Structure 1
Amino acid sequence: MQQISRRSFLASSVAALGGFALTACGGTAASSGPVTLRWSMWVSTPQERAAWAALADNVHKAYPNITIKLETSAFDPYWDKLQTELASNTQADIIGMQGLRMPAFAARQALQPLQTFISKDNDVNIADFYQPMREMMSFKTQLYGLPYDIGPVALYYNSDLFKAKGVEAPSATTPMTWGEFRAKAIALSDASKHQYGYAIVPSFDAVVPWLWSGGADYMNEAETASTLDTPEALAALHFLMDLILKDKCVVPITDLSNSLFAVEQFYSGNVGMIMGGPYDAINMRANAKFKWDIAPIAAGSAGSVTRLSGSGFGISPHTQYPEQAWQALKLITGTPALKQLASLGRAYPARSSATSAFLQESTPIKNIQLFQKILDGSIPHSKGHFFRTTTTWQETEVMFAQEFNPIYLGLHSVEQIVAAVKPKFDKLLQRHQALVNK
């Protein structure tokens, strides 16, 4: 990911752009004959699909000539399906895009740059989007998508289980140390009752906050070499693996391919803590039959350093209706739309003008302000960190799934896993540099 170029993204044009009101603007392209736009997106539950379907209906209400056909898949199959569609130029007109995957798709021209639309549209306010999300949705100074959410990862915890076990709940204002986290996780665990202090998704992404909080990283700033073999990275990985394999206070991993493993275990009521973002709130309220709340993730030697990521939508370069797709894209990422998503707990809005809706959602949790405090950097020893990825991140994730994720099974040592991963990661970073410098 070209982080340096992203920081300068649209610097000259942002100041000139005005505010966006979610009303039909009456533009000639959007007012022409009837069209049907396909919109692809991932969902995990019926509640999520209903939230997106409501926004699709809003587009039709605002622009009666535009009908949105919503096409949804579960998260993991979504990316396989998208790759297949891109290969045959059958992708949707509007494409859901995770920020960490944006460089890979933008570099392959799977989305079209939005500056042409922005430069001739006085009704869009790009500056209203949080800067990290403008960076995540851009590549080589060009914006390729409009974000809908920003997701600072926090620690979700089962208040009822903490109370039943007589364990003090995590503080919302002072991050636990790693030692305190370990002690709480052990105290919450009882294998005979299938109760565990923590559950983790068996993926590389899940270890990133642990690496950062331990003063490590997964690649260098120049994005030319992996840094997983540094003493700090190895120490962080050892701490996490010891929780799983020695302390046995983490739910045993039984399925390396299940990206919903941690949250499904949490729903059972037998898990004390998991990491999750604001986007998990809608499903948490629907599926968790116990009291829960949120706290900062545990702090290592570098503090509580959590992951900032998010998603948005882009426009296919092969759409037959680019102007109509732009009108729809503006609407589904406008302030009223993001407030609607926020009120359901589906997204922490990527627009600063819409965040109040999440903080006032219909069934708020006690520490609801935490997500904003992470973004503001107002919690001592806690901060959010931009999740850097590369143009070869799709291939990198496949490599991680094959070479890194078995670390959770304990069949190989941390050092053996890192020794297998590093040369392959380095090679992918070399390919990334070649793509960036083309």
Structure 2
Amino acid sequence: MRTRWILALVMGLLLTACSSDDGASDGRITLRFQSLAWQQESVDANKELVREWNAAHPDVRVEYVQGSWDSVHDQLLTSFEGGEAPDIIHDASDDLADFAYGGYLADLSELLPARLKSDIPERSWETATFGGRVYGVPFLQEPRVLIANAEWLGESGVRVPTPEDPWTWEEFRSIAKELSGGGKYGVAWPLKEPVSATLNLSLSTGGQMFHRGADGKVTVRFDAADEVVPRTVHDGVNTDGSASSVTLGMGGSDTLPGFFGGKYAMVPLGFSYRQQIVQQAPKGFDWQVLPAPAGADGLTQGVSPQTLSVAEDSPHKKEAAEFIGFLLRPKNMVRLALGDWMLPTGTEALKDPALHTTEDDWATGTALAAQLRSAPAQSVRGYPEWKDKVATPAFQEYYSGAIDLDELRRRLVEDGNLVLARYQR
């Protein structure tokens, strides 16, 4: 009797779930959209766009589901394997490779509107393309910039860089030393998670780290071009005394009190941190956005744009792609960018006057958009494990002075290639 009751309950739940998923009860389709928006302006923009869609599409209702950047990879993996993934998935492009190759995401190549496909540059599409198939729509991105104490820089008399005439890495190191002394530092590097920052900035010097052979397999190399950014950080902390060792274990937000308090002249941060600075800076605090230093490849920088994908198991891929097309119309993309204090990938959206103002230095960031490229790790299978088990501890120890450059190279290359090999058999 108990067994029969359990079976009946399970069948009832399954039928209810199927009815809800298919929209069979009232003919209406319901799509679940999991958003990772977290800043209030961004959450409000996403929810308002969902309301606008629902008002205009009574037969295809979108349900907003709040996710979290802190746990998204494991949460998505569990939901994929359990057959409970949301239809529309908000993530970052450097998190997509394993999901794409694992068959969890739908190929969007033939589902997206032609307008959207032509509006986003090829360099952005490359961040979400794996094996020739598109598994996500890159829509928001941010360069890493230098947030500087404008008063401090002005009083020092150093040359202030612009996107047209940036500092070189050598010049940046020299100026950081010049701005230091008396218990103050020219720069604070918040490198609690050091890998993506290091690899992305290293594109400016010609660094690549990951190299794909003729057989399609990826291996790690650590060449001279890859050394420039790590050595700049290491030497600032351990040789020049121009960079604080304390901030190496911090996240970006953790450095802001010291920045506001006059302890650091500059902090390398993502462009979106401007919102926190506007909200938290003491009255009268004068700050400005500077481009990151340039190397042999100029201001080229790696980015991992935020993406929108569709679950392979979704029974309504066409409708999900239509919602993505609506969400990323140029005016809507601008609304999302302003809400997140980031840059849109769309060519038309980038032309919007709101993104070219001097207020909050929007124009400085927008001037860097054309220099943004696919982050080196985008298509590397096994990158999350390489980053967590090999690269993160190796970079942390090198930056703190616990190991030298040769040991850093050995770990990244020898230990790293052992990890990647398991994913390429």
- TM-score norm. by structure 1 comes to 0.78
Of the candidates 290, 309, 319, which is equivalent to residue 304 of structure 2?
A: 309
The sequence identity of aligned pairs, in percent, is 18
Letter in 2 for 1:197: V
1:249 corresponds in structure 2 to: 242
Structure 1 residue 409 and structure 2 residue 400: aligned?
A: yes
Structure 1 residues 159 and 57: CA distance shift in structure 2, 3 A: farther
SS in 1 for 2:210: coil
Letter in 2 for 1:333: L
1:340 corresponds in structure 2 to: 335
SS in 2 for 1:154: strand
Letter in 1 for 2:384: Q
1:352 corresponds in structure 2 to: 347
SS in 2 for 1:52: helix
Deviations 1:54-111 (A, max 9, x none): 33333223324413223131x3322232233333232222111212222222111221
Please report how far the alpha carbon of residue 126 of structure 1 lies from its aligned counterpart in structure 2 after TM superposition. 0.8
1:391 corresponds in structure 2 to: 381
2:137 corresponds in structure 1 to: 146
Of the candidates 78, 87, 91, which is equivalent to residue 93 of structure 1?
A: 87
Deviations 1:112-154 (A, max 9, x none): 1113424xx6x64311112111111221111111221233433
Letter in 1 for 2:317: P
| 1:101-140 to 2 correspondences below 5 Å | 101-118=95-112, 124-140=115-131
Please report how far the alpha carbon of residue 309 of structure 1 lies from its aligned counterpart in structure 2 after TM superposition. 3.3
Please report how far the alpha carbon of residue 191 of structure 1 lies from its aligned counterpart in structure 2 after TM superposition. 6.0
Query: Bigger shift: 345-354 or 315-324?
Result: 315-324
Structure 1 residue 169 and structure 2 residue 160: aligned?
A: yes
| 1:197-236 to 2 correspondences below 5 Å | 197-202=187-192, 203-222=194-213, 224-228=218-222, 230-236=223-229
Distance of 1:69 and 1:39 partners within structure 2: 5
Please report how far the alpha carbon of residue 332 of structure 1 lies from its aligned counterpart in structure 2 after TM superposition. 1.5
Distance of 1:323 and 1:219 partners within structure 2: 35
CA RMSD of aligned residues (A): 3.1
SS in 2 for 1:96: strand
Please report how far the alpha carbon of residue 417 of structure 1 lies from its aligned counterpart in structure 2 after TM superposition. 2.3
1:46 corresponds in structure 2 to: 40
Distance of 1:428 and 1:204 partners within structure 2: 16
Number of aligned residue pairs:
391
Larger radius of gyration: 2
Deviations 1:213-233 (A, max 9, x none): 3443212253632111x3443
Q: Is the 8 A contact 1:198 1:250 kept in 2?
A: yes
Q: Is the 8 A contact 1:37 1:67 kept in 2?
A: yes
Greater helix proportion: 2
Deviations 1:276-326 (A, max 9, x none): 444444444334443333333213355443224312100112234434322
Structure 1 residues 94 and 264: CA distance shift in structure 2, 3 A: farther
2:72 corresponds in structure 1 to: 78
Structure 1 residues 325 and 191: CA distance shift in structure 2, 3 A: farther
> Which stretches in structure 2 are left out of the alignment for 5+ residues?
1-22
Deviations 1:211-255 (A, max 9, x none): 333443212253632111x34434542232011222232232467
Query: Bigger shift: 396-405 or 128-137?
Result: 396-405
Distance of 2:70 and 2:122 partners within structure 1: 27
Q: Is the 8 A contact 2:143 2:372 kept in 1?
A: yes
Distance of 1:143 and 1:126 partners within structure 2: 10
Letter in 1 for 2:308: F
Q: Is the 8 A contact 1:156 1:294 kept in 2?
A: yes
Letter in 1 for 2:413: K
Structure 1 residues 179 and 354: CA distance shift in structure 2, 3 A: same
Distance of 2:210 and 2:127 partners within structure 1: 17
- TM-score norm. by structure 2 comes to 0.80
> Which stretches in structure 1 are left out of the alignment for 5+ residues?
1-28, 377-382
SS in 2 for 1:76: coil
Distance of 1:76 and 1:248 partners within structure 2: 33
Please report how far the alpha carbon of residue 352 of structure 1 lies from its aligned counterpart in structure 2 after TM superposition. 0.5
